[in-house]
Every structure is written in C-alpha cells, then in structure tokens.
Amino acid sequence: MNKQTIYMIHGTDYKRMAMKIMESAGVAEEIGSAEKRVVLKPNLVAATPPSQGGTTHAELLAGAVEYLQQHGFNNIAIIEGSWVGEITPNAYRTAGYDRVCREYHVPFIDLQKDSYQTYEAAGMQIKVCDQAMKADYIINMPVLKGHCQTLITCALKNAKGMIPNSEKRRFHSLGLHKPIAHLNTVVHPGFILVDNICGDLDFEEGGNPVTMNRVLGFRDPVLCDTFVCESMGYDIDEVPYIGMAEALGVGSTKLDEAEIVMLNQPEKGATGKASSRRTQQLAGYTAPKDACSACYGSLIYALNRLNDYRMLKRGLPPIDIGQGYRGMPGEIGIGACTSCHNHSLKGCPPKAVDIVDFLQEEWIGQR
C-alpha cells in the first residue's frame, strides 16, 4: 500500500468492511512474520456506546482480529487507556470489547496501569506506555469525530491514549496541539483503520452522532487528519497540530496527491435519520430522499459549520439530497443525484468543506 493511498468502504456490515480494507491494503504482508506482536489501538475515551459517536465500534476490532488470525497472527492485543476521570474497564465493557476478547481469545491491556518510559520526541520529552512501544506493529483505530478543543480528532490525537494519565494532564496544560504533534514523532502506527460509522459532531465523548456508515484506511496519520478536516468542513489551518506534525516529518497534508480507492459505492440508508436534538435541528434544513449515509452525513457536518458561523436562518429553501432526486428538477441540491436542479453541487459524495462553500454562495448568499 502506497503511503498516499486512501481506502474507503461503505455499508453496515462493519466487521466485513474492516476485513476487506485490511485485505485490500495488504496489511498482513506488510507486517511480515506471523511471530510479530501486533496491537490494536481503538478509541475508548469514555464509557459510552459506539452508537453515540465517541468510541470505536467493537465490530471493527472483531474484523481486524479475525483478519489477522486468518493470516496466522496470534500475538495480538488490544491496548487503550481512557481519558483521565474514566476507568478504562468500564469503557471496555460499555463498548462491548469484552465479547470480542472472549470470542477471539485476545487480551485487552489497560494502558492506565501500564509502565512507561520517557522518549526524546523532536525536542520534547514525552512519556509513552511500554505496551505501545514494545509492539512490532500498531493498528491505530480512531473515530472520525469532532472535538471541543481541537475541532476534529482522528489518527494523530488517538495516539494520546498511549501515554500515562500524568502525561495526558500535562498535554492539556500545554494546549494539546504541540505535544500531540511531537508524540507522533515517537509512536508510528503501521496502519490506520478509521471508524467513520457515526462520529460525533463536535464532542470527543459523543452524544450527537452523525451516521456516515463508512470505514477508511490510511498509512499516513497527517494525511488522514487532513482528510478528516475536509470531511467535516474545516480548513487544516484551524487544527494546528496537523501542520505541526507535517513540519516534524510525520506525514503529508497533500490530499491532492493521494489516490482514493473506493472498494464499493455509497448505499442508500440515512434518509431522515437524526439521532439527537442538535442533528435533528440541522436535518430540518434538508429534504432527503433515499440519501446515502456518507452524502447525508457530509451535509450535516457542513450545516454544523454554517451554524457555527451563525448563518442558518428561517425561510431558506430545503436542500435536496439523495438518489430519489435523480433526473428531477428542483431549486438546490447536494451531490450528483441532484444534477438537474437549478443549483447543484457535484460529487458522489461531495466533501463537507465543498458543501460549506457551495451553500454559502448558492443557498444563503442568494437570499
């Protein structure tokens, strides 16, 4: 797998989707010898079920473990330390990881209780847990979601779960961005399997999930987080740790040089689904008809940005989206399916960052 390749798969059979992405990316071949120690690092920030948008789905872990075991790997562990204030085993049970560990006979290691060493991290001294640093290969499994301080969180920030609690507190006192960038000069995941199933609008622990039903694969955490910015409607300059990590040589923000390998096409399914009061309010500006989850989720993220800018107002015409609009005339629509509308944004699915620009110009700006 090229470092600039992005793998994307849509659907609801999350376990199979994880396996298919890893197979397509050739993860087993890349790891090499079956004797290697492979650790999976999900996001178990707090004791909230993955359906709330804060934690990695257990089905993705099951898929990753099954894929590895099918390829002869048996020295596997799941490692994670929840945020300060949460007891990791509570989060582990709430997310259903106990069932995965039992079914596949894989240990879970609570990094809040792990020993650690201090490492030189491009000019900073950073403590990192031993179980992470002893691994031969790390599979980073973050959730693509919003964050109340850093705006987005995905691959780069998920590395923070591999440091002791005392270091997490210090990171916050340093403003998060700089230490996150430096931490990623020390911790090097081989593969990044992103849970883009239903990440939160803007809170790390979930509560306002946005259904996308998508799983992504990357090798470059900087490229991954750059993609996340576009998917949620942010400019990368709004998330300083991404540019800092690039400057330290962790990866590249050059999305235009990346190849996106679509393992299937988006599926219909999200129409009208809004799982919290906030997403319901945003959904009130839309008129979905057989919309694919990834398309509709991108629109919800874009509307959330416009809401941040205080641009949403009463009296705006509903935004059409979905396969039910194919060939139909209309006022304003998002995605290739609305190409017969007076104002339509191309893309299948379009990115949230493009939807934000389009709606400012063609929807709000016209009224």
In the complex, the smallest distance separating the C-beta of residue 124 from ligand SF4, rounded to whole angstroms, is 42
Q: Is 61 in the site for ligand SF4 (CB under 6 A)?
A: no
**Tokens at residue 132, please?**
């992470």
- Token pair of 144 as six digits: 């693509």
Q: Is 323 in the site for ligand SF4 (CB under 6 A)?
A: yes
* 336 near ligand SF4 (CB under 6 A): yes
What are the angstrom distances between the C-alpha of 194 and each of 119, 217, 362?
27, 6, 32
With CB under 6 A as the contact rule, the residue among 239, 322, 343, 352 that binds ligand SF4 is 322
**Rounded to whole angstroms, how far apart are CA atoms 308 and 61?**
34
Site for ligand SF4, residues 254 to 273, rule: CB under 6 A: 266
H-helix or E-strand spanning residue 153: strand 151-153
Could you say which of 100, 162, 337, 356 contacts ligand SF4 (CB under 6 A)? 337
Q: CA nearest 321: which of 267, 271, 282? A: 271
Least distance to ligand SF4 from the beta carbon of 291, Å?
Answer: 5
How many residues bind ligand SF4, per CB under 6 A?
Answer: 12
Instruction: Give 122's Cβ-side CA count (13 Å radius).
Output: 17
Q: Which range touches ligand SF4 (CB under 6 A), out of 143-151, 179-187, 299-307, 333-341?
A: 333-341
The verdict on whether omega for the bond into residue 89 sits within 30 degrees of 0, i.e. cis, is: no
Does residue number 291 form part of the binding site for ligand SF4 (CB under 6 A)? yes
Comparing CB distances to ligand SF4, the nearer of 253 and 344 is 344
Contact 174, 149 (CB under 8 A): no
Residues 156/164, Cβ–Cβ less than 8 Å: no
Q: How far is CA 267 from the centre of its chain?
A: 19
For the bound state, the minimum distance from the C-beta of residue 243 to ligand SF4, rounded and expressed in Å, comes to: 30
- Interface region with ligand SF4, contact rule CB under 6 A, candidates 106-114, 151-159, 239-247, 289-297: 289-297
Q: Which is nearer to ligand SF4, 84 or 348 (CB)?
A: 348
Under rule CB under 6 A, residue 348 binds ligand SF4: yes
Note whether 39 binds ligand SF4 by CB under 6 A: no
Residue 212 touching ligand SF4 (CB under 6 A): no
| CB contact at 8 A, 166 and 27 | no
Q: How far is CA 3 from the centre of its chain?
A: 18
> Shortest Cβ distance from residue 346 to ligand SF4 (Å)?
9
Q: What is the DSSP letter of 200?
A: B
Give the CA radius of gyration of the chain.
20
Whether the bond between 240 and the residue before it is cis, its omega within 30 degrees of 0, is no
Answer yes or no whether residue 34 interacts with ligand SF4 by CB under 6 A: no
Rule CB under 6 A: is residue 87 a binding residue for ligand SF4?
no
Binding region for ligand SF4 (CB under 6 A): 266, 291-292, 294-295, 322-323, 335-337, 348-349
